[in-house]
A and B are shown apart, each in its own frame.
Chain A
Amino acid sequence: MSYGLRKSSFFVFIVATIIILLLIFFAIQGWLSPLKNILWQILKPLAKAFFWLEQKIFKAINVFTALKDLIKENNNLRQENLSLWQQVASLKEAERENKLLRQRLLFENDGKKTLMVKVIGASQQAGQYLLVDKGFINGLNKGDWVVSADNFLIGYLDEVEEQVSKVILLSNSDSAINAVTQDSRASGIIKGRHGLGLALEMIPINKELQLGETVLALGKEASGGKNLAVGKVKEIIEKENELFKSALIEPAIDWSALEEVFILK
């Protein structure tokens, strides 16, 4: 018989197996508990030494692990920060829009609808026109008046496409709107001054204007018949031998800063 299958080896195997089974029986009976206690007493100093060693070794390892975790956490926080930033920006926009709409609610136009539109473009030359994001599929028509949230007249729709419209600003040189001053009731025509400002022209020479007087665009169907404020008289221009006088108007609204406007329908 070869060495690996010798009878003595087989005998050792059987005996050791029986011993193990006996030990299992002893353990079930609880007879190994004293031995276990003694072993723990012997092993305690060694365990302490190993524990100390473990602390030292793994402390160093943990530093690297923590560093790796920190980098990961930092990346996650950056992503979260970006996401929150975006959310804050969206909320701020929503808040601003909400504020504008609330402001707008104060100005009813005798049951006329108002539609908020976003400014999506403007003429390269300042004060000429704006492009807004709604068109005739939204019910916009040529000639509709365009106002700010405070109900100041800005201009009117000139070209209305399917989903986009062009707003001619009052400061546009082609713009001409009938107007009247609020206190002296002097009538005239608001005309643009090549995008640089407004003027009230064709004022009868016999009418006395006051500086700072509010200039109102005369109401028409689009505004529900109401006169809408445009600005204030800031300078009166009178020339000899002329039948009419004019006045420069300080607009109430900075048209270059508009992001949303309202269409009166």
Chain B
Amino acid sequence: MINFLYFLFFSFLAVIGQLTLVGYFDQKNIFLDFPLVLVLAAALTWRQVKISWLALLPVFLFDLLISRVFGIITLSAWFSFWFIRWLAHFLFKKNEFLSLVTLGSLGFIFFNGLNFLLEKLVSFFWQSIIFQKNIWLFRPLEFLLALVLNSFLFFILVKIWEGLKIFKKE
């Protein structure tokens, strides 16, 4: 229970960080993905942390609070979570930093692709969404930032978490 509360608190922090810092970075046309990075990290550490799917909690909170069409981000993140798990299990079996970063990057691309498709679908069938970002201009910047955040997070995890096994042993 205490773990859950800790997690809830840090989820709140992640969401608030996203909501406040985004205000600054949006002016610079950069969109940060803190909750997404958490989801990716959780997907890769799920063997150690059995409740890693709780990483979806900040995504859910963020999705709920940003007042866009609810569900698109949560659904994209949830599928990304499983996509990363699947990749980590079948393709990237080496327990090394480069693999972690590659997986994080692929997860980011998968998330954004799915998110974009779902937004388009919702816009087409149900509710018009104003796309605030120019996808071709901002996505590379966003990707770069997420990559840096991801790498940093994994680097810290590997350093401080002794015996961390992210991938299946061969």
Contact = CB atoms under 8 A, between A and B. Distances in A.
A77 interface: no
Contact of B89 (A4, A13, A21, A36): A4
B74 A23 contact: yes
A20 B24 contact: no
Interface residues of A, number: 27
Contacts of B21: 50, 54
Contact of B64 (A2, A35, A47): A35
B64 A50 contact: no
A54 B13 contact: no
Chain B interface residue bracket vs A: 20 to 34
A3 B50 CA distance: 13
Contacts of B17: 50
B19 A54 contact: no
A175 B96 CA distance: 100
Contacts of A94: none
Interface in A50-79: 50-51, 54, 58
Most buried by B among A5, A20, A39: A20
A17 interface: yes
Nearest to A42: B12
A88 interface: no
Interface of A: 2-5, 12-13, 16-17, 20-21, 23-24, 27-28, 32, 35-36, 39-40, 42-43, 46-47, 50-51, 54, 58
15 contacts: A4-B85, A4-B86, A12-B53, A13-B82, A16-B78, A17-B78, A20-B78, A21-B71, A23-B60, A24-B75, A43-B12, A43-B65, A46-B12, A47-B20, A50-B19
